[in-house]
Amino acid sequence: MSESLLDVLLAKHPVPCQVESMEIQPDEIVHVVGTQEPVRDQPDSRAQLLLRTGWLKVDLIQIALSPDERAQLVTEVQGAARNWLKQAGSPVQATERDQVRWLVEKTRSHESALQIGQRVWLALVLHGLGCRGLRFDNEGQIHWQEGLVGRIGLAPDAAIDLAWSQPTRQTYTASFRQPDGTITRGKGRRRWFAYRLTIDPSAAFLFEQRAQKTQNAVALIVASEIHATQPQLPRDFYGGDAFQQACIDAQDQSFDHILVVSPKHGIISLDDTVDSETTWDSVLEGPVWNWQQMAVQRLGMYLFGKAAINHPQARELNWWAWLNPETTYELTVFGDGFTVQMLLDHLIHSGGRMPHSWPQLRLGELKPGYDAGEMEETFDFDFDLSDNIDFDDPEYQAAMQDINILLEWSTEFVELVSVYVSPINELWTLAADEALIPVRILTASEMDIEELLDLLTDISLLLEHPLPFTMLINAGLGVSTLLQITHSLVHDEREAISALLDVYPEDVLRQYVEKTLQETSQEDRLCACLTLAEQLQLLHLAIDSTQRDQLMLWLQTYISTRMRPRILGSAEGTDKP
């Protein structure tokens, strides 16, 4: 194949590359692919399963250039592209002009300036790896003679689909994950690191299953608490007229799957041998959620089929992720009780969280069978068997969109803010879902939430550390302290500065000031203190007293909730985290 115009332009800016094998944890794949969270909008469950089974290999593209040098190289390429466009005459074909134009302009309406540069960088890496025939398309993808790379920031599951569609079963990604696992923080994260994804041919059955769109009827029979002492098939192991009649009724109908809901095993098939069993009361004695998650996982395994059931890690993997989202499963339950409510509750809510990647579930008529009983305590499952949730309803979609936006802001917020608990000298990192309430409070501030996140980014970059939550609430105290420190600097009162820092509760300010004092120029020292004071003053003005009170109340509740098990554990002589 002859060289493309992109090949010619990129050849003038060589990037030496070396491929190195590496291992990552399944939850890191979203960063390796360079995906912007929240994961709810960027699913990674299928990619995680491939990693857990060893069917997805990740290689690092090692490049002996610093991030600044990589950015400079992109700038040089884009400068050359602009010169080419100015000098090109009318005979140049539109397709060739587009290829050069797309080095500096967006290929689609939602491609940002940063993503353009990252796309150019990935093209440079591909050229350095020997890929030829390079060209862009209008969706921001990069094609070459033997493969295809998706747009910048796509979801992990979309990346593995793209890799599987190639003859080499490979694709490449531009990532903000550094080789040592560090994640670039803040807005505008630069994807200056590249990885190669390779899928093992052994995973073919997963992609084949994913492509199948079927209609399935599923019977779920609640197990009785009358059972044999010797291992037998479920139809012989469980006794009682209600269970036995339910089995007969289910087998008389045309079900694709007939499964038993079991206290010990969660879900089992009528063709499995039951070695032992417990009572439904025993489920209530422990964390009921453990049983719920086990039952849902094993239901997905049985719905997937024999390939999943016979896999060595069958009972550890999320098989739901590989079921076709257009496949329909109609569930008919024989029996009743809390176990039915718990199982269906999890299924319905999972479908609500991932409506575009979860198979369609329909609840059929409740049939007679064994009743496992109800919980003694009142428990609201938020739904009834007669509920019919319309995931296409505009109000439902609008509500989910609001939650998604909040979660996206929360994901960025937790990278910029941490919780420091001074009495025990511990620094806690928030999870995105834990920060939903404070982010919701901050959306009502005087400053636009995006601008507020930009401000927090600037502050965290100054501190070289996430901003402690108490400094967020008490930004005014930080301003006052910094102004007093600045005054003391002018008069060279080092003891006064030390005294101010001794009473300030956050060590991060001490670290910042001590680093500032090492500056050789008095002007630089004063500028550093006043710059941080200015940023904290903007933060103080953006959050009013009512919001500060609400944030303080949330923080107190959060700390007490996390500390309670530890305090109770100490009282009982145990060491609970």
**pLDDT exceeds 60 at position 65:** yes
Q: In whole angstroms, what is the distance from residue 489 CA to residue 495 CA?
A: 10
How does residue 47 score in pLDDT terms, banded at 50, 70 and 90?
Answer: very high
Instruction: Give the amino acid at 523.
Output: E
The CA–CA distances, whole Å, from 347 to 141, 221, 300 equal 35, 16, 10
What is the structure's pLDDT at 365?
A: 86
Q: In whole angstroms, what is the distance from residue 387 CA to residue 381 CA?
A: 12
Express each pLDDT in 251-289 by its tens digit: 999 999 999 999 999 999 999 999 899 999 898 887 888
The answer to whether 177 and 30 have CB atoms below 8 angstroms apart is: no
What is the structure's pLDDT at 7?
A: 92
Q: In whole angstroms, what is the distance from residue 31 CA to residue 313 CA?
A: 25
SS3 at position 257: strand
Beta strands 426-428 and 417-421 are: antiparallel
The answer to whether 482 and 529 have CB atoms below 8 angstroms apart is: yes
Write out the DSSP string of 529-558: HHHHHHHHHHHHHHS-HHHHHHHHHHHHHH
Q: Which is nearest to 264 in space by CA: 246, 282, 247?
A: 282
Distance of CA 68 to the CA centre of its chain: 28
The CA–CA distances, whole Å, from 573 to 204, 563, 565, 569, 570 equal 52, 15, 12, 6, 5
**Helix 113-128 × helix 67-87 angle, to 10°:** 100
- Please work out, in degrees rounded to the nearest 5, the angle formed at the alpha carbon of residue 378 by the alpha carbons of 372 and 381: 75
The answer to whether 222 and 370 have CB atoms below 8 angstroms apart is: yes
| 38 upstream amide cis, omega within 30 of 0 | yes
Q: Which residues pair with 183 in a beta bridge?
A: 177
Express each pLDDT in 12-36 by its tens digit: 999 999 999 999 999 889 889 988 6
pTM: 0.66
pLDDT more than 70, % of the chain:
90
* Buried/exposed code over 479-490 (b: 16+ C-beta within 10 A; e: otherwise): bbbbebbbebbe
Q: In whole angstroms, what is the distance from residue 23 CA to residue 8 CA?
A: 35
What is the structure's pLDDT at 388?
A: 53
The answer to whether 245 and 204 have CB atoms below 8 angstroms apart is: no
**pLDDT exceeds 50 at position 577:** no
Q: Which is nearest to 170 in space by CA: 150, 193, 140, 186?
A: 150
User: Higher model confidence: residue 548 or residue 355?
Assistant: 548
* Buried/exposed code over 212-229 (b: 16+ C-beta within 10 A; e: otherwise): eeeeebbbbbbbbbebee
Long-range contacts of the stretch 437-441 (C-beta < 8 A, 24+): 437/554, 438/413, 438/469, 438/551, 438/554, 439/406, 439/409, 439/410, 439/413, 440/406, 441/547, 441/550, 441/551, 441/554
Mean pLDDT score of the chain: 87
Q: Where are the beta strands (DSSP E) in 318-382?
A: 328-336, 360-363, 367-371
Domain ranges for the chain, please list them.
Answer: 5-208, 212-391, 400-567
